[in-house]
A and B are shown apart, each in its own frame.
Chain A
Amino acid sequence: MKIKHLFRRKTLTVEQRIKRRNIISFAGFAVLYAGIYGSWRWLYNAPEEVAGITGGARKPLRAALNKTELAFRKVFDPKHLVKTYPASMGAKEVRQNGDIGIDTAPGPDWELLVTKQSGQELHISLNDLKALPKTDITFDFKCIEGWEQISHWAGVKFSDFIMHYHLEDHAKMQYVGLSTPDENYYVGIDMPSAMHPQTLLCYEMNGQPLPVENGYPLRLIIPVKYGVKHLKRIGSMVFSNERPPDYWAEQGYDYYTGL
């Protein structure tokens, strides 16, 4: 059968019409699925992003993660709180998933180093922080792996800390960056999440000073993020309008990871 007959409607018998429509629809189907398959191959084999603040993800997927972040940032509301529980429900055996940046003994002369935009440094001791109003929270800690655990923490509200040290101008910047003293683990936090009323600079767990493996002397507790952002043993704090380095974002994870 010649191709041109396919398109000559008038003279077609039922048999011919069936054949014609079969060919057209199956050809269309084949083109659609070839396109889908080709797109998938393109995406799956897409080159990895250039390692920088983020890394380890396929380029188009990183772009999608960043776009998705923008969409979900619009629904972020500091009035949306994580569910809290009575302190007595906090786990006694608190799970901890990693010791990157805290695998050496903590130094006896620890202080929190805050570098201001002017270059001025604040050196803040644990006792300085303990002198500030204390806030505690018992919430469902969520790991990016999927597990969760109700646990009880206490410390200084991040927003209280900002006010006490007159860092309000700095809190107008986009990000805060935190790092362990050895700089082996570091996180970047968008400011709205850092200033969320349930974000703590935490020094107690279950009413006791933090155990070393849970971040002694000071860790971040940020219930609007997965555990990967709850940096243990905070050594330094910086403020920036650019994304500060983030350990897991360099390894293919979403930078934002907001809950």
Chain B
Amino acid sequence: MKTIKEKHSLAMRWFHWINFPLLTIMIWSGILIYWASPMLPILFPEWFYKLFNIPFRLAEGMAFHFLFMWFFIINGVMYVLYTLVSGEWRELVPNRHSFKEAWLVLLHDLHIRKTIPPQKKYNAAQRIAYSAIILMGIGSFITGLAIYKPVQFNWLCWLCGGYYAARIEHFLLTIGYVLFFVIHIVQVILAGWNNFRSVISGFEVTEQP
């Protein structure tokens, strides 16, 4: 018989689906800014810039970036507060077994191992990934503020290793989000409909004998 198993709270789903367009806009407007003075010119070829209509939109990029940064940060802060207050952080933060288990999960996902360690709501690899992405968010906030106001927050700039380093870090974190996104999508497809639906509806359907 089918049963309904609650999985993701409404708050979690909300933060997730609000974050997605916000981060997309931050990355897009970030590329509009990055184009004006690329640090790694080999990374984006001309055709990439042309395809997404990037060139000569620095002012526009800055205007979007400095509006949506507020929403992006507010949503991120609310999410972290929510996980702390609700206690859901316990399911998300890696514990002392996570790193070993994550390795076994990886071997399993790569079809090298047949068995997988017993899973709770999030497996060890997910715990690491979902906690790392929050640390990355904090990193984007700090490096972003260091680039945005390098004089008023000169100590942040110093903490990042200087202005240039802060720019590189801010950029690499963004590349990190894109890589996260690609792996995330592959995993979502592999995990299937029941799992994907739970991030919208909040529940999974399980078969009970």
Contact = CB atoms under 8 A, between A and B. Distances in A.
19 contacts: A14-B1, A21-B4, A21-B202, A22-B197, A26-B200, A61-B63, A62-B63, A64-B67, A72-B152, A76-B152, A81-B151, A82-B150, A144-B58, A248-B59, A251-B59, A252-B63, A253-B62, A254-B66, A258-B149
Interface string A53-74: 0001110011011001000100
B193 to A, nearest CB: 11
B164 A253 contact: no
B33 interface: yes
A223 B152 CA distance: 11
SS class, residues of chain B in contact with chain A: helix
A40 B67 CA distance: 13
Contact of A14 (B4, B59, B151, B201): B4
A77 B201 contact: no
A18 B201 CA distance: 9
Interface string B95-120: 00000000000000000000000000
Contacts of B150: 82, 142, 259
Interface stretch (A102-110, A145-153, A233-241): A145-153
Size band of the interface chain A makes with B:
35 or more
Given A61-B67, A259-B149, A83 B62 contact: no
A58 B34 CA distance: 20
A80 B201 contact: no
A251 B60 CA distance: 10
Nearest to A252: B59
Interface string B11-52: 000000100010001000000011011010000000000000
B141 to A, nearest CB: 15
A80 B59 contact: no
B64 interface: yes
Given A32-B17, A82-B154, A64 B66 contact: yes
A192 to B, nearest CB: 11
Contacts of A140: 163
Interface of B: 1-4, 17, 21, 25, 33-34, 36-37, 39, 58-60, 62-64, 66-67, 70, 149-154, 157-158, 163-164, 167, 197, 200-203, 205
Nearest to A71: B70
A86 to B, nearest CB: 16
Interface string A242-259: 000000100111100011
A10 B200 CA distance: 24
A56 B149 contact: no
Contacts of A64: 63, 66-67
Contacts of A254: 62-63, 66
B67 A145 contact: no
Contact of B21 (A17, A40, A57, A68): A40
A148 B64 contact: no
B36 A17 contact: no
Contact of A80 (B60, B154, B205): B154
Nearest to A13: B2
Contacts of B33: 146
A125 interface: no
Given A82-B154, A258-B149, A15 B62 contact: no
A75 to B, nearest CB: 5
B201 A21 contact: yes
B61 to A, nearest CB: 10
Contact of B203 (A21, A72, A146, A147): A21
Contacts of B201: 21-22, 25-26
A51 interface: no
A75 B36 CA distance: 27
A65 B64 CA distance: 9
